[in-house]
Structure 1
Amino acid sequence: MTLAQRLLLSASLLVATTAAGHAAPKVVASIKPVHSLVAAVMQGVGEPALIVEGAGSPHTYSLKPSQAKALQEADLIFWIGHELEAFLEKPVETIGANAKAVELIDAHGLIKLPFREGGPFEAHDHGEDEGHADAGHDHAHDHAKEHAKDDHKHDHAHDHKHDHAHSHDHAHSHAHTHDHGHKHETAKAAGHDHAHDHGHAHGAFDAHVWLDPENAKAMVSEIAEALAEADPDNAATYEANAASTIARLEALHADIDARLAPVRGKGFIVFHDAYQYFEKRFDISASGSITVSPEVMPGAERITEIKGRIAELGATCVFSEPQFEPKLIQVVTEGTPARAGVLDPLGAGLADGPDLYFGLIDGLATSIQECLGGAS
């Protein structure tokens, strides 16, 4: 490389550095959908690190040394919250103590739905499911009262082995408060009761909030606000990226709404009840779930009951998930006219990056559209 070329390269790097203002903040995101939305807002400035890679479960995941180092050096940590990524509670509190932790489940304007209970969405604690018999589950508790108290025992959705039920007081303070007036809470907030009850005790609301594109818009706004606050020199870029991402989400919403119109009213059954945000947004409805606790496989009685439910409701499809054994779906659908499909709520098979979220939602729609549309 000639001296002139070196000088030109140095000048180019100087201009790029000046345009960016300064080094991008170090950002960590928990699960792939969150990482995708953060990456979309950060385009042109930097890239976030991802914790739960591939098809990993957000609760049984073990931090790698490089990921612990990323948390230690982070300026910002974006996660859904203790309701979902329980394994991150202690690391966020300790390893990532110097970072600002943003719990997106508390994003301003986010729509939260209570858990569905009873009937086809019940766990059925009457002996057929090993592991449920001694769980001490009380499925008669009142969600409305729980929600009014903001005292949560949360369903940790994709956790095969997780056994925490969290009683959480949302009145105590968080390390940071946003201008829109709500407080976020860290894992070390007082009143966080780590009761070792059965893993899927239900709480006030369902944590699968990202499966509604309207909630994704609220999350994008929250992400952009936190990034702009941490890195004001690049605030204009974050705001512009957020605006373009929200426009993409609106287009995605309209496209999927039209695509799912022909299959509305057709029944289907899901592996576990994780999709009501998607269902309500696009006016489709699952007829039931195989189990509300992904870490506990249903027994023979429950399987017989699900088969009866398929017949009773004329369910045309039963959907599994990439993390779970497909043989179970074969057992449940055997002898019924129902077809089998796969729903991937975390984007396990998709490449990380700003486009993953769009591929995830599109993939859910495609799986439902193809399975329901091809079944009579």
Structure 2
Amino acid sequence: MKSAAAILLASSFAAAAPATAAPDVVVSIKPLHSLVAAVMNGVAEPALIVDGSASPHTYNLKPSNARTLQNADLVFWVGPNMEAFLERPLQALSKDSTVVALEHTPGLKTLPMREGGTFEPHADDDDHDAHAEAHDHDHAHGEEHEHEGIDTHLWLDPQNAKVLVQEIERRLIAVDPANIAVYNKNTMAVLQKIDALDADIKKTVEPIKTKPFIVFHDAYQYFENRYHVTVAGSVTVSPEVAPGADRVRQIHEKLQSLGAACIFAEPQFTPKILQTVSAGTSAKTGVLDPEGANLKAGPNLYFELMQNLASSLNECLSRAS
């Protein structure tokens, strides 16, 4: 026969246990995963597909990723223009899984992919026509890619991040209403934290925002629009494809004619081509990380990522004459 103390201890554990199991949530890339993890804090930790220093531009789905997806109740991704490698696997998921392409979130400020001038033409645009339809079980089958051609680095504007956080909260509540109070509380805290981040970034980039710089690939349009920094061009559009000799010459000439203060590489792609492009110019070199490749995944990653972008720009451009 159990003692009264044992019975009391057992009952306390039973009372503390959640009424229903937390949902299995899977997220494609680190910046989105960070926002989802922040909203889910205290409920469960979402799984991440593109982990470590990998890039969604060059990622190949692993068998372990496929198994994780098969068990998912809810999957968040940007959409096929960002994580093309996920499109077919997501189409194959059970109808019991909810797949959310966050690029379709109402209220997002979206920008078209740009080309021409110092931004390399999107020679692979025609390839997107071969993509199958986006797979979101909340939309009717047969939905077309209405957001074809948008810049998918949506999270680099903190105002967009706030919209994404509220959509993430809504989707989590839909599959896990038992934890609505936790999701509500976490969402309010994250929104306030994003507002503080936004204010800090404005202060950090204010002294250098008129100095022109060139980036490795055109991933920073949302950051540029939010903070009015001066991106003069990109070396390449598709970071997995090395730019041709003509492109290198054009960017080299642009660096000289503009007097661009800095040229930035990215952690996943550190091509020697940047040394060639900047040779004979006064441009400094730096590194920008739009996807958090070198950061630990988790709820703080988004904030570190954004602060690092601002700090890296300030550090390099402040050194330039």
**Shared fold by TM > 0.5?**
yes
Deviation (angstroms), 1:248 = 0.5
Tell me what 2:157 maps to.
212
CA contact (8 A) 1:72 1:98 kept: no
Identify which of 246, 252, 255 aligns with 1:307: 252
CA contact (8 A) 1:72 1:97 kept: no
For residues 82 and 36 of structure 1, what CA distance do their matches in structure 2 show?
A: 20
Tell me what 1:108 maps to.
106
For residues 118 and 5 of structure 1, what CA distance do their matches in structure 2 show?
A: 75
For the residue of structure 2 that corresponds to 1:54, the secondary structure is coil
CA contact (8 A) 2:101 2:136 kept: no
Tell me what 2:60 maps to.
62
Residues 189 and 268 of structure 1, relative CA distance in 2, 3 Å threshold: same
CA contact (8 A) 2:95 2:137 kept: no
Counterpart amino acid of residue 169 in structure 2: A
For residues 337 and 80 of structure 1, what CA distance do their matches in structure 2 show?
A: 38
Deviation (angstroms), 1:239 = 1.4
For residues 218 and 169 of structure 1, what CA distance do their matches in structure 2 show?
A: 26
Tell me what 1:141 maps to.
none
CA contact (8 A) 2:209 2:229 kept: yes
For residues 227 and 260 of structure 1, what CA distance do their matches in structure 2 show?
A: 35
Task: Show CA shifts across 1:241-297 (max 9, x none).
Answer: 111101100110011011110001100000111100011111112001111222221
What does 1:165-176 align with in structure 2 at a 5 Å threshold? Answer: 165-166=128-129, 175-176=137-138
Identity %: 51
What does 1:134-145 align with in structure 2 at a 5 Å threshold? Answer: none
Deviation (angstroms), 1:174 = 5.1
What does 1:317-356 align with in structure 2 at a 5 Å threshold? Answer: 317-356=262-301
Counterpart amino acid of residue 199 in structure 2: A
For residues 330 and 244 of structure 1, what CA distance do their matches in structure 2 show?
A: 43
For residues 294 and 15 of structure 1, what CA distance do their matches in structure 2 show?
A: 52
For residues 96 and 223 of structure 1, what CA distance do their matches in structure 2 show?
A: 21
Asked if residue 24 in structure 1 is aligned to residue 22 in structure 2, the reply is: yes
For residues 169 and 74 of structure 1, what CA distance do their matches in structure 2 show?
A: 21
For the residue of structure 2 that corresponds to 1:262, the secondary structure is helix
Counterpart amino acid of residue 84 in structure 2: A
Tell me what 1:189 maps to.
142
For residues 78 and 257 of structure 2, what CA distance do their matches in structure 1 show?
A: 37
For residues 290 and 163 of structure 2, what CA distance do their matches in structure 1 show?
A: 18
Corresponding pairs, count: 320
For residues 277 and 258 of structure 1, what CA distance do their matches in structure 2 show?
A: 17
Identify which of 337, 351, 370 aligns with 2:315: 370
Counterpart amino acid of residue 73 in structure 2: D
Task: Show CA shifts across 1:306-343 (max 9, x none).
Answer: 11101111100000011113422112111110000001
- Which 5+ residue runs of structure 1 have no aligned equivalent? 125-134, 138-152, 155-163, 177-183, 193-201
For residues 6 and 54 of structure 1, what CA distance do their matches in structure 2 show?
A: 45
For the residue of structure 2 that corresponds to 1:175, the secondary structure is coil
Counterpart amino acid of residue 94 in structure 1: A
What does 1:206-285 align with in structure 2 at a 5 Å threshold? Answer: 206-285=151-230
**CA-atom RMSD, angstroms?**
2.6
For residues 6 and 212 of structure 2, what CA distance do their matches in structure 1 show?
A: 65
Tell me what 1:83 maps to.
81
Deviation (angstroms), 1:203 = 4.8
Asked if residue 94 in structure 1 is aligned to residue 92 in structure 2, the reply is: yes
Counterpart amino acid of residue 142 in structure 2: A
Task: Show CA shifts across 1:15-44 (max 9, x none).
Answer: 321xx3321111000000111000000011
Deviation (angstroms), 1:215 = 0.6
For residues 298 and 63 of structure 1, what CA distance do their matches in structure 2 show?
A: 26
TM-score, normalization by structure 1: 0.79
CA contact (8 A) 1:174 1:189 kept: no
Tell me what 2:119 maps to.
121
Counterpart amino acid of residue 291 in structure 2: L
CA contact (8 A) 2:55 2:293 kept: no
Identify which of 43, 49, 52 aligns with 1:51: 49
For residues 310 and 371 of structure 1, what CA distance do their matches in structure 2 show?
A: 15
For residues 354 and 123 of structure 1, what CA distance do their matches in structure 2 show?
A: 35
Asked if residue 290 in structure 1 is aligned to residue 235 in structure 2, the reply is: yes
- Which 5+ residue runs of structure 2 have no aligned equivalent? none
Task: Show CA shifts across 1:185-218 (max 9, x none).
Answer: 7xx63657xxxxxxxxx95311111111111101
For residues 114 and 218 of structure 1, what CA distance do their matches in structure 2 show?
A: 18
For residues 244 and 210 of structure 1, what CA distance do their matches in structure 2 show?
A: 18
For residues 96 and 329 of structure 1, what CA distance do their matches in structure 2 show?
A: 45
Residues 169 and 54 of structure 1, relative CA distance in 2, 3 Å threshold: closer
